[in-house]
Amino acid sequence: MSVHRTVTRSVSRRPRSVDRFSPRRRALLPAPWLRSASLTALLCLTAPSLSAQEADVDDLREQLEAALATIAELQQRVTRLEGQQDDVDIADDLEAQLQALLIDEPSEPVPPRRTFSPSATNPAIGVFVEALAEGGDADEIFGTGGDRFSLREVEVNFALPISPFADATFVTAFEDLGSGEFESKVEEVYTDVSIGALTGSDSTAGVRVGRFRLPFGIDNRLHTHDLPQSDRPLAITQQLGAEGLIGDGLLLTLPLGSSESAAGRVSATTAEVALVNGDLFTGEEALLGGLADSAGLTLDSDAPVLVARGSHFIELDQTSDIELGASWITGVGSRAVVTDVMTEIDPEALSVDLTWRSRDDESGQDSWLLSAQGVRTAVDFNQAATPGFPTGNQRSDGYWFTAQRQTGVNTYWGLRVGSAEVLGADDDISAISPYVSWYADEFFRVRLQGQRLRGRLGGLRRTAHRAMLQLSWNFGAHKPHPYWTNR
């Protein structure tokens, strides 16, 4: 009932709200023409204002278009930056993967292996010639030298790197036997294997395989053309052999340690261990072999021989250094040397050596060299019971000392003194040998040496003199000069 009334009331009131002007109010409105005129005037008055608004709208439109363009440019820059960020992320990821792969890399860089070149198949060839003119009465008394000129030795040296970790050397010598006859022999043929290059490490250890001069003291490992004098010391020739000791087998070089002081001075300790055939004692050129041959015996070897040397090098300052060494030779087992009558011989040798070198500058001029070596051999001959061949235990001692002064770039003056007991006999010999060496250049050398020999032979004291003029030259490739040469 109340709802119906409300709707009716609203409907009845609508005409009144639509026709808002009553007749009385209509009478108060202006006439139609007046309204038209007023409207025209109003339009005329507001026209400038509309034009200004249209101009403002155009400015706003331009500003909006500029803002939209700026936004589009910013969007493009954001897109480019996002792409760069993706590249950085990818690079970082690749770097992380590489680091993960290299996590087992050693802390210290590994030296690169030496590359192999086909041209390395051509060996470096060097030829060394020793000519000697000598005179005196030493040959008549001590059986050393003679009054003659000889092309004492011609040595041919082949050297070749056969792989990134191994170098090969072949040395053959032609010796003058007199009467125009020469004898050829293989003096050395070996391969040096670098442990560091083979294993990819920084080790300086090495292995030598083949036939080589043994590391016994200073002099034994030198070739004839490398000697600081014209001949070898008596301690070598009278106790080990005229040419020293050469063996067939293996040689292991081990660096035991090195250090460097605050002033930059270096010191190093090295051990060399060789295991070679006992044939080095049985040949005719070896002293034992020579004694057996004189007595009508033949020597053989059924066991190896051990040769060991330890050395310690100290750099005293920038221009001087010193090296101390000790060497030992002994047979491994009881059959290193056996006679054809089944007598076992046990040879042994000990040696100590010392070398000091000083130079005024890097040119080597006014340099000094002091070098010394002592040798003791002890041979147990057992009871050979052969006439002319020693029996029992025999010991012999020997030494030599060299002092050398370099007075010019090419000139060396020196003096060597030495003495030795003769192996297998009761004899002894001593010698004083002054000498001067002149190097015309790297390939030609002239040396003049005098020698005074004195000894006891068969219970008699004898004295002899000897003079030697040595000419040495070489052509082709050659290794660096020996330790005593400051070039």
Is residue 454 one of the residues assigned to a domain?
yes
DSSP H helices, 102-184, are: 138-142
Reported as half-sphere exposure (CB side, CA atoms, 13 A), residue 440 has a value of 9
Q: What is the mean pLDDT of the chain?
A: 81
Is residue 330 one of the residues assigned to a domain?
yes
Q: Has residue 98 got a pLDDT over 70?
A: no
Q: State residue 16's pLDDT score.
A: 44
Is residue 30 one of the residues assigned to a domain?
no
Spatial distance between the Cα atoms of 29 and 21, rounded to a whole number of angstroms: 10
Question: Which of 89-93, 184-188, 253-257 is predicted with the least confidence, judged by mean pLDDT?
Answer: 89-93
Q: State residue 170's pLDDT score.
A: 95
- The domain in which residue 343 lies consists of 128-153+226-476
Averaged over 330-348, what is the pLDDT? Answer: 83
Is residue 336 one of the residues assigned to a domain?
yes
Neighbours of 455 (CB within 10 A): 22
CB 321 within 8 A of CB 313: yes
State which of 94-103, 139-148, 291-300, 371-380 shows the largest mean pLDDT: 371-380
Task: State how far the alpha carbon of 223 is from the alpha carbons of 178, 213, 218, 312, in Å.
Answer: 21, 9, 11, 23
Return the higher-pLDDT residue of 312 and 14: 312
Q: State residue 366's pLDDT score.
A: 79
Tokens found for residue 168: 């090969």
Averaged over 99-112, what is the pLDDT? Answer: 57
Tokens found for residue 325: 């060494």
Tokens found for residue 107: 């802390």
pLDDT tens-digit readout, 33-43? 555 555 555 55
Q: Residue 28 — pLDDT band, cuts 50, 70, 90?
A: very low
pLDDT tens-digit readout, 287-297? 788 888 877 88
Residue in the block written with tokens 């019971």: 385
Q: Has residue 118 got a pLDDT over 70?
A: no
Is residue 395 one of the residues assigned to a domain?
yes
CATH number at residue 438: 2.40.160
What's the domain count of the chain?
1
Averaged over 316-325, what is the pLDDT? Answer: 91
Is residue 210 one of the residues assigned to a domain?
no
Q: What share of the chain is helix, strand, coil (3-state, %, to 5)?
A: 25, 45, 30
Query: Exposure of 374 by Cβ count < 10 A (0-12 exposed, 13-18 middle, 19+ buried)?
Result: middle
pLDDT tens-digit readout, 365-375? 778 999 999 99
Question: Which of 27-41, 97-111, 319-333, 401-415 is predicted with the least confidence, judged by mean pLDDT?
Answer: 27-41
Spatial distance between the Cα atoms of 366 and 92, rounded to a whole number of angstroms: 62
Is residue 233 one of the residues assigned to a domain?
yes
Is residue 328 one of the residues assigned to a domain?
yes
Averaged over 161-180, what is the pLDDT? Answer: 89
pLDDT tens-digit readout, 410-461? 899 999 999 999 888 888 999 999 999 999 888 899 999 999 999 988 888 9
Q: Residue 278 — pLDDT band, cuts 50, 70, 90?
A: confident
